[in-house]
A and B are shown apart, each in its own frame.
Chain A
Amino acid sequence: MNHLIKAEFRRLLASRMWAGLLLAALLLGGGMMGAMALIGPENFDPPMPGLHTETGVRSILGILGYTAFVPAAAGTLAATSEYRHRTAAVTFLFAPRRWQVLAAKLATYGVAGLAYGLILAGTAAVALHTAAAVRGVPLGLPASTVLGLLARIGLAMVVYLLIGIGVGALLRNQVVALCVVIGYLYMGEALLMMIPGLNQLYPILPGGATAALTDFTYLADAMSQQLGSTTLQLLPPAAGALLLTAYALTASLIAVLVPMRRDIT
């Protein structure tokens, strides 16, 4: 098993993916958060509550949560790349116990996801506080609470990366899997929120669970108001965390079990 994890780390570090992930973490964490805080949510179109309010801070942190499709896409790329470049046969020749290969990938990308989350949350924290200080706006939440919320977002990134690997292992076709993962996370959940009845599912979907982590209800509330539907009630943060963990475990199980008996042709 250690051999396999070592091999997966070598595979990850030899391609340009780790550099891409690092860049994404810096741009989305420090870059996007800095830009949003500098402009100020009150100047968004449509305007949102300012940084001096609790809702304002939770909202821009919640928007950061929506970038989870990036690590999810990275996980999908990692799991499908072996099929796309036809290295899956070679890999399974070296390691015929296929579940071990996928377990090693999950371990490796779990670590990579953690690093991604840390950098994303860390640079976001620095950017948010710096921008608030520059504009002279006191944040609507104490620094420790902001850090706690950012840490939750960082951990959610690990979950999404693992979900990406699970979907990739299940679908195998890289383009299809990427379309499904990005399409669902970027568009699918937002569309679901607009469909009366179906939108009641939102709190138990990955996006709803992630929003629950930071108690980010602004977007869901705004949408219910516009559509005149009943307000969606997000899960409590702890339940959201549990639910996300369950999604990660399910995805991991899929990743480990699905390739077991399938013919590699």
Chain B
Amino acid sequence: MSGDRARIEVSHLTKRYGEVTAVRDLTFTVEPGLVTGFLGPNGAGKTTTMRMLTGLVSPTSGTATIGGRPYRRLPRPSRTVGAVFDASAFHPGHTARDHLRVYAAMGGYPDSRVTALLDLLGLAEAADRRTRGFSTGMRQRLNLATALLGDPRVLLLDEPSNGLDPEGMRWLRGFLRQLADQGRTVLVSSHVLSEIQQLVDDVIMIRRGELVAAGPWSRLAGPPAVLVTSPDADRLAATLQASRPDGDAPSVEVIQAGRLRVHGLDAPGVADLAAEHRLRVHELVTETSSLEQLFLHLTTDKAATP
């Protein structure tokens, strides 16, 4: 990897297409050494933002910099940033090797780099086949190989999991983790929140072009809740709430008759307290929050406030 770590900084970025505002006053940073998920439903403005980051789309206002410079001012951009925007961006008549050799020439990289990347991404055997016959997984690998030609410090991937089978997805997760562990900045957009959850360290959530939440996933997710099924649910709820002084007591939410969601006390704590008071517990499950829940939670809150 060339040079220092590079942070992505987006400041008050706005893009309007006529009457439609695709991205509105967006501000966030993406840190090196982590995988950051850029999340939101289809049409939220993820692709437009990523294209503005790389100079493909000009912002209406605001700035986006990578390592302190706008993309178009980077001295040799492919050494700093690698990006994958389309699931398939090759001439169908070119072989994988042809494709990489074109861009190696463009970036000024030797042919040995092409061979090295074909090997790294497991494309060596398919190297001399025309890309029109490539599977989705192979296309994704060739996209990544193209993006990595310049050994960049920053990697941007727009919806990389689209069309990947579970095995391909697992491979991608491992690969991106490895790149982040090497100190690179990795930004991955996705609208399939469940797919990306196991991968990301930080999260940036947007909806209708606006920021909804940003920060480390562990902080946004909060402590896990405990789901309790008990025939003595009412008494257990009262006991839990009385277990500690008012402000400090666990909060109890009645999901339905006989089922509670407890915040502020872990599963062993709930079990011990129930045993102490001779209350029956039929099921006890630790519920880690999901990106999906967080997103729904945040967006419904937002919708409720005028």
Contact = CB atoms under 8 A, between A and B. Distances in A.
Contact of A263 (B51, B71, B91): B51
Contact of B51 (A3, A91, A265): A265
Interface in B96-155: 98-99, 101-103, 105-108, 146
The 4 closest A-B pairs by CB, nearest first: A14-B98, A7-B105, A7-B106, A264-B56
B217 interface: no
A259 B146 CA distance: 23
Interface stretch (B78-86, B192-200, B230-238): B78-86
Nearest to B101: A10
A66 interface: no
B299 interface: no
Contacts of A3: 105-108
A52 to B, nearest CB: 47
Interface residues of B, number: 35
Given A7-B103, A93-B83, A96-B72, 8 more contacts: A14-B102, A15-B93, A15-B94, A16-B93, A85-B89, A89-B56, A91-B103, A265-B57
Contacts of B103: 7, 90-91, 94
B77 interface: yes
B95 interface: yes
A87 interface: yes
A180 to B, nearest CB: 22
A92 B56 contact: yes
B69 to A, nearest CB: 11
B28 interface: no
Contacts, number: 85
Nearest to B17: A263
Contacts of A85: 89-92
Contacts of A89: 51, 56, 85-86, 89
Contacts of A6: 105-106
Interface of A: 3-4, 6-7, 10-11, 14-16, 81, 85-87, 89-97, 261, 263-265
Given A7-B106, A261-B58, A94 B77 contact: yes
Contact of A93 (B58, B81, B90, B101): B81
Given A86-B89, A87-B89, A87-B91, A93 B54 contact: yes
Interface of B: 47-48, 51, 54-58, 71-72, 74, 77-78, 81, 83, 85-86, 88-95, 98-99, 101-103, 105-108, 146
Contacts of A92: 55-56
Contacts of A86: 86, 88-89
Given A85-B90, A89-B89, A96-B72, A263 B106 contact: no
A96 B55 contact: yes
Given A3-B107, A6-B105, A263-B57, A93 B77 contact: yes
Nearest to B103: A94
9 contacts: A6-B106, A85-B90, A89-B89, A92-B56, A93-B78, A94-B78, A94-B103, A95-B106, A264-B57
Contact of B98 (A10, A96, A263): A10
Contacts of B90: 85, 87
B70 to A, nearest CB: 10
Contacts of A94: 77-78, 103, 106-107
Nearest to B107: A94
Given A10-B98, A86-B86, A81 B58 contact: no
